[in-house]
Every structure is written in C-alpha cells, then in structure tokens.
Amino acid sequence: MDCPEAWVVPWIHQLQPGTRLRVGPFWSVIDPFVHAKWHDVSSRLARLWCSRVEGEAVPSEAQADELEVDIERHAVRVGLGIESRRLASKLARTLDLADLERIAPVVLPALHPVALGLDVDATLVGRGLLRDACRAFGLPTGLQPIDDPGIELPGRVRSLTLGADDFCATWSRSGGMRWRPGAAREGIDLFAIEVQADASPHDAFVALAPPRPRRFLASDSHPVRRGPSKRAVDTREWLRLEREFRFSADPSDSNGRKRIHDVTLDVTLDREQRRLDVSVCMRGALARHRYRLCVPLVHWPRPARFSVAGGERAVEGAFGATPVDGRIEFAGRDTPRTETIVTIEGDDVIEAELYPQRNDMVCALTLCRESDEALEVPCIERSFSISLSRTSLGS
C-alpha cells in the first residue's frame, strides 16, 4: 500500500495489521506556503521513519515529485488559512529544531492543506492544536500590551508627530497618517485599512461589489494615548489610534444589517533603529472578506525581494497577491550613489501585494481572509515591523 503521509501509518497498522507500506518522502504533505523550517522537519522525520521500519522504502525521485504541490497553481489560496499559518510561522521562527521535531507528530497534521482552509472542521481543529503548542512554550498568540501607560490625550488633537525630520511619522485630521523616511518625500495614507468582499471562498480572490476595496484612512481615527510618559526611560515614541467603521455584512444587500468594526492601531517609532512597529487589533471581522493594511513606499521598488516556501524571488515593479515567508525587502535608489531598502517583516507577514496608488507604490499586507462563516475570526491581532536602511553604491 502506498502511504504518502507517514503520520497516518500507525492508524493503518491498527486497522490492517501486517500491511506492508511504502512511505512517502514527507512526514506529512505540508501546505507549500507554511514556513520552510516545517518542511525540513517533515523530511527528516520521514527519513528516520523509513530507516527504522522494515519493509518500508522511500519512493523514487519521480514519485516524490508527484507529491509536490505546484506553488504557482495554488498561490491564490494562500490567504485562506492565514490564522493557522501565522501561528505555525511563530513556532518555526522561535523554537529550536529539536523542539519542533518533538511536537511535529501532533502539529504537522494541522499544516496539511486540508487543515488550512479546505475543510471547516479540520481547520478549526488544526488552529486549536497550533494555539496549544504556542501556549505550551509560552509564546503569546496575540499582541503584547505596551508596558508604559503613556499620556492620555485630550478629545480634540489636530496633529501629532513621532520622530524628527530624518525619520518621522505624522498623524493629522486633515492628512491622516504619513511617514517620511529620511530626506525622501512623504508617503501618504500610511496604515490605511482596505476591506473587500470575496465571491470565491475556495479558490482565487474574486471581488464582489463594489469592485474597488473600501479604504478606511487613519485621518478618521482619534488618538487616545501617546508615549513615553514623563517617567519612562525608553527613547522610543508611540501613539495609539482608535476608530469604528461599519458596512453591510452581505455586500449584495445594500440595505442589509451593518457590522461594526472596532479598530485599535498602535504605532511605535524607534528613531535610532530607524524602524516603525505597528500593531492592529480589529473586532467584528467578517468571513468571506479580505482585510489588508497598506504601507506606502516612497521609491519605486527595483526590485522587491522575498521568499515563497523557502525559494527566493526578486520582482521588478508591481505584483499581485503573493505568499511571503515573513519578510519582504524593497530596494530603490535615493541618489545615484545611495540605495534605500525598506524591509517589512514579522510572523504575521503571510501575504503581500504591491500596486500603484496616487504617487506611491503601496504594499498591502493581508490581515485576514477566511473562507466560510464557520471560520469567522472574532478578533484579528497582527503586528509588523517596517525598517529603513541605506547602502552606499560604488562609483
């Protein structure tokens, strides 16, 4: 009997004692968009299994290739299991290989394509397994609160600035959130939230009406706190914005029931490290909708570099919704002798798209996209880090 997924072997032996099995090269056929470290763990466990069990053999290379999933063909469904993928990425980035191998027999089935959006029950069970694994190692599954209580802001504030001219972010009622990385011009509509209904929950993203996503800008938010407080020693500055927006739960029904979204945005600027950290907490998210956070780039990316399932890529100019393994770099020229690199990274960087908007190129980071009402996420918590570096080019 051919058995491409080694983790089901014990159950087959219980049901059919004495069956000779030919085990595939993977401990479990893991979804290709899960962190590459899990694929290494899977391969290692499969080889160990095949070397210990008499009568089992690794298939030929041709048979192994048939088990691979075509990344280009399935790239459109990367967002469907984003909640589970981010937990798997957090485990892979934080734990040692020995710890991952110890929990692999339990966790790897949760990373199977069926448990990442193709089946409601399997997805819910898999998500629970990943959360339990994070808790067992003391890894937070949500956002970490800011220790410094900061200063409570009055009801009406016109504008606030974090940082200084060489690296700053500004919020104002008239201009929303903007950032200026160094001497470059400002990038507008920083951390705008895009929401768009999805007509195809099981395949490619197909937008319902309206055809263009709704954009909720930071100018409509109100600042509630900023830091550091006077007694704090931390040199970093931070700002908390809150807002509420609503739209129809059913996009095809213009008079349908409205769903309220409560959004909290924490922006932390580290001038010394030239880095922006942003945390988003949103309640009231709808299933069959895609939520994205927008980061404007102040230079044309030439190229954008990222990895998909462990494979490196470099893309010139705009690109569509693409899976990303936790990090993406945008290189561009400031002057003929200076190159600027904007890096967006974090466990929650799972899917990104780059497109032109006004005078900027905008990187849209997928916050959430779920495929079924039963998988509705009551609270979306995501965090990203945006850093700036410059390199001098030789003459």
Helix and strand totals (H; E) in the chain? 7, 21
Q: Which of 28-32, 101-105, 247-251, 283-287 has the highest mean pLDDT?
A: 101-105
- State whether residue 345 is helix, strand or coil: strand
**Structure confidence at residue 131 as a pLDDT band (50, 70, 90):** very high
> Looking at this protein, which amino acid is placed at residue 51?
S
- State whether residue 331 is helix, strand or coil: strand
What does DSSP say about strands 176-180 and 167-172: parallel, antiparallel, or unpaired? antiparallel
| CB burial readout 284-299, b (16+ within 10 A) else e | bbbbbbbbbbbbbbbb
**Percent of the chain topping pLDDT 90:** 23
pLDDT tens, position by position, 303-351: 889 988 777 889 888 888 888 888 999 987 665 667 788 999 988 898 8
Residues contacting 30, CB < 8 A, separation 6+: 38, 39, 42, 108, 111, 112
**Structure confidence at residue 62 as a pLDDT band (50, 70, 90):** very low
More confident residue, 391 or 365: 365
> Looking at this protein, which amino acid is placed at residue 29?
V
The continuous run of DSSP H or E covering 7 comes out as: none
pLDDT tens, position by position, 200-210: 766 677 787 77
- State whether residue 239 is helix, strand or coil: strand
Cα dist from 123 to 87, 102, 142, whole Å: 13, 22, 19
More confident residue, 359 or 275: 275
Q: Is the pTM of this model over 0.85?
A: no
Residue 67 has pLDDT above 50, yes or no: no
**Structure confidence at residue 136 as a pLDDT band (50, 70, 90):** very high
Cα dist from 372 to 199, 202, 262, 332, 376, whole Å: 11, 9, 21, 40, 7
Work out the number of other CB atoms within 10 angstroms of the CB of residue 1. Answer: 10
